[in-house]
Structure 1
Amino acid sequence: MKSKIRIVFLKELREILRERRTLMFLLAASLIYPAIIGLVLNQMIERNTRTEREGIEMLVIGGAKAPTLMAQLRERSVTVTEAAPMNEDAIGNLLRAKKTVAVLRVTDDYVANYQAMRPARLELWFDSSTESGPQRRDVEEILQAYSSNIASARLLAHGVSPATLSPIELQRHDTGTNASRSAMVIGGIIGILFLPAFVLNLSAAVDSTAGERERRSLEVLMAQPARSWELVVGKWLAASVPSVVGVTLVLCVAHAILRWLPLEEIGMSWSLGWGELMLVCLVTVPLSMLSSALYIGLAMNAKTFKEAQTTVSFVTIMPVIPGVVVSFMELKTATWMYLVPMLSNQTLVKELAKTGDIGPLPFVMTFLCALIPALLVVAFASWRMKSEKYVLGV
């Protein structure tokens, strides 16, 4: 680093470090983003490792007409509460008040139809707008199993094997590995870990350009014996430091959380090592530098500090768009994805978690796809710095 660039870099870095709010935000971001992923996965683990149905409470109207069904519900850990007959409006009000998961009503002609071997109708009332969907599906599975048992018993009573109803036996063999399954699930939410690359440097980049120009301190800086590109590069590198440090902390904390969680309980694993993580952190550095360059370049074209903040805030949304589009379109991993900044980082982590060995080309492409645009934007900002209109803000 040349001496003049180093002087500008250290000057801007000292101003960044004076801002305690920036440092606190850096620390908070390094914990919040990984914590979100950890909480989501932990909820998945808890939901999938429950050994029995818990918390299923259901009202039954006319349960005395189907004693064997009530017994089977209780055997499957469903708390059955007998209720008096009620109309449809009363059932709807009860469900909207979230006082029960569902209401099972045994119809008046249930016993007659059951004895005549006709379809005996049961009514299951539920509110799909509540959060009791998994419990309601558990109840439906119990009722379906009860119906299948009755059908099998009737066939045996008539000398017919229940296997007659199942002419085909389907055996499922899943060849997916824990690593590939975890890559599909974790890869879909890992993009949030790269967002700090576009968040932690916004304030520093805007303040060092539009902010200094509004305070008229930029004129004093440009009066020094330094060329415009040296000033821009120094500011660019200083603004990139909080972002680089923040993303590295976020990735390290998330890596530690993923290695600590018992992902094998839900058929997944996290196989990345610390060496591979360091390579991911290294190729993510240009992503932070690209966002800093974009912020500086856009802030130079704003006449006020507030206008610069409003303009560059749209840049924080742009990197999320490619990942969302790829997820909705369910596109398979392709080489072109390593040419799109941020999408390339998400794809790189997902493929590393899936296969482990992807070769050096994805790393090189991920590194260059953000570094080359960053250098071009810095070159434009250096040229823009030469304009007196920019310095004077006219």
Structure 2
Amino acid sequence: MKPMFLVVMLKELRETLRDRRALFMLLLFVLMYPALVGGVLQQQINRATQPEKEGIELTVIGARMAPTLMTQLKQKNVNVHEAGPMTQEAIAALLRTRKVAAVLRVSDSYGEDYRAMRPARIELWYDSADDNGRKRYDVEDVLRNYSNTIAGARLLAHGVSPATLFPVHVQKYDTGTSASRSASVIGTMLGMFFIPAFFFALATAVDSTAGERERRSLEVLLAQPASTLDLVAGKWLAAALLSLAGLTLELCFAHGILKWLPLEEIGMSWRLSWADLALVCLVSVSLPLCAAALEIALAINAKTFKEAQTTASLAIFVPMVPVIVVPMLDLTTQTWMYAVPMLAHQTLLRELAKGQAVGALPFVLTFASSLAIALLALWFTVRRMKSERYMIGI
């Protein structure tokens, strides 16, 4: 004879799998977050490679006054478009079209000032509200290097070494690996992979509690020869099992996307192995248990299905707060982070992706923190359902 909690679990799973909308939402969240992260990274890769392919469009007013500078710009993949005199309003209108990255205006006295070794004025006009910031910085680099080259040549002509301009020479050495850079940049996105664990369990958790109360079928279940613990455990495990299946599929899909993307184009890589991912999935078993238990505990206090769905949906944002706030604070990894559900999973996945040696304690804390909250919420739900006055009067 099957245990009663297993009978209840199978019953809830059958009812959920018959609901096409629930299955569609499950598939949507499995694909949505990995595709979103992959799309953001692909956009960065496209932007990193776009300047070399298309060049930088630059309008120059008075280009004939600085032919050497024009040659320097063209050598750096800048497409120079010569233009006649333009007013400030005309320049602003041209920049609003987003067809050029910037407008360079060479002063009429540029040649005279250059020959007299006075600062030759060049105006760089741009629109800081457009998306050409990277291209504009490239143009500024060309202008800066051109200016330094002229300064060095003039010093050398006067018998002064150009090294005089640089009394301190700073040489940089980056010991960070592409994997560690990837984990740092992608680290803020990794928490998104664990958020759907709460959405995967939501439909089953709410429908099996508040939904059954609204349909008056919960009273029939309570009248059956089964303990309250069996009823709650069956509903809890059914919701948790769906959440676990969705979370595992999502992590595998995300891992496949990050492996497939050419992250080398932006100086990164994703070196997490499938064995590491399996370990993360194993530790993450407690997160679906926590999500399902919390949502059932919240739904059991609601009078209607809509009320339970609204309350549980709003409560999902609570564990999202540390996942968003902590990366913004740029804190170093600390032990207490592994005691906060979702933040612990994000931190653990990031450290593994960096190739860092992670001891046993982070795995234990990550698993135990979510499990402790799950058991506490389960105890609360069982206590509520044991009270006939509460279940009938709510």
In the TM superposition, what are the counterparts of 1:353-372 in structure 2 within 5 Å? 353-372=353-372
Is the 8 Å Cα contact of residues 35 and 254 (structure 1) preserved in structure 2?
yes
Q: Which amino acid aligns with 1:260?
A: W
Rounded to whole Å, the distance in 1 between the matches of 2:135 and 2:393 is 63
Partner of residue 280, structure 1: 280
Residue in 1 aligned with 2:178?
178
CA distance in 2, matches of 1:390, 1:81: 78
Identify the residue that residue 126 of structure 1 maps to in structure 2.
Answer: 126
**Change over 3 Å in CA distance of 1:259–1:356 after alignment to 2:** farther
What residue number does 2:97 align with? Answer: 97
Q: Distance in 1 between matches of 2:273 and 2:55?
A: 40
Distance 2:101 2:48 in 1: 20
SS of 2:104's equivalent in the other structure is: strand
Whole-Å separation in 1 of the counterparts to 2:211 and 2:325 = 35
Matched, 1:335 2:335: yes
Which residues of 2 match residues 114-193 of structure 1 at below 5 A? 114-193=114-193
**2:87 matched residue in structure 1:** 87
Unaligned runs of 5+ in 1: none
Is 1:234 equivalent to 2:248 in the alignment? Answer: no
Matched residue of 2:194: which SS?
Answer: helix
Contact 1:58 1:101 in 2 (8 A): yes
1:11 shift after superposition = 0.6
Conserved? CA contact 2:384–2:391, under 8 Å: no
Match of 1:312 in 2: 312
User: Structure 1 residue 178: deviation in Å?
Assistant: 2.4
Larger mean CA deviation between 94-103 and 119-128 belongs to: 94-103
Aligned-pair distance for 1:214? 0.6
2:19 corresponding residue in structure 1: 19
- Number of the residue aligned with 2:246: 246
Aligned residue identity for 2:212: E
Contact 1:197–1:288 (8 Å) recurs in 2: yes
Asked whether the equivalents of residues 298 and 308 of structure 1 are also in contact (C-alpha less than 8 Å), the reply is yes
Q: 1:264 to 1:92 in 2, by over 3 A?
A: closer
CA distance in structure 1 between the aligned counterparts of 2:223 and 2:350, rounded to whole angstroms: 49
Please give the alpha-carbon distance, in whole angstroms, between the structure 2 residues aligned to 1:267 and 1:73. Answer: 26
**Alignment partner, residue 295 of structure 1:** 295
Note if contact 2:61-2:103 (Cα within 8 Å) is conserved in structure 1. Answer: yes
> Which residue in 1 is equivalent to 2:219?
219
Q: C-alpha separation between the residues in 2 aligned to 1:47 and 1:310?
A: 40
User: What secondary structure, in the 3-state scheme, does the structure 2 residue paired with 1:200 have?
Assistant: helix
1:281 Cα shift? 0.6
Give 1:36 shift. Answer: 1.8
Offset of 1:285 from its aligned partner? 1.4
Question: Percent identity, aligned pairs only?
Answer: 59
Kindly provide the CA deviation profile for residues 213-235 of structure 1, in whole angstroms up to 9, marking residues without a partner as x.
01111111111111111111111
Contact 2:5 2:234 in 1 (8 A): yes
Cα-to-partner distance string for 1:104-156 (whole Å, 9 max, x where unaligned): 11112222211111101101100000001011111111111111111112112
Deviations 1:164-190 (A, max 9, x none): 212222111111122222221222211
Indicate the SS of the match to 1:104: strand
Q: Quick check: 2:179–2:270 contact (8 Å CA) kept in 1?
A: yes
- 1:278 CA drift (Å): 1.2
1:319 and 1:276 mapped to 2: Cα distance? Answer: 24
Residues in 2 aligned to 1:196 and 1:350: alpha-carbon distance in whole angstroms? 18
CA distance in 1 between counterparts of 2:74 and 2:267 reads 30
Q: Which moved more, 1:134-143 or 1:89-98?
A: 89-98
CA RMSD of superposed structures (Å): 1.8
1:50 Cα offset (Å):
5.8
Residues 206, 308 of structure 1: 8 Å contact kept:
yes
Query: In the alignment, residue 246 of structure 1 is paired with which amino acid?
Result: G
Task: Report if aligned partners of 1:179, 1:270 keep a CA contact under 8 Å in 2.
Answer: yes
Q: CA 1:120 to 1:53, structure 2 compared with 1: closer, same or farther past 3 Å? A: farther
The answer for unaligned runs of 5 or more in structure 2 is none
Shift of 1:61: 1.1
> 1:197 aligned to 2:197?
yes
Amino acid at match of 1:380: F
- Equivalences, count: 394
Calculate the TM-score normalised by the size of structure 1. Answer: 0.95
Counterpart check, 1:64 vs 2:64: yes
**CA distance, structure 1, for counterparts of residue 274 and residue 81 of structure 2:** 54
Contact 2:187 2:350 in 1 (8 A): yes
8 Å CA contact 1:96, 1:127 repeated in 2: yes
Q: Which moved more, 1:108-117 or 1:39-48?
A: 39-48
Q: Is the 8 A contact 1:187 1:350 kept in 2?
A: yes
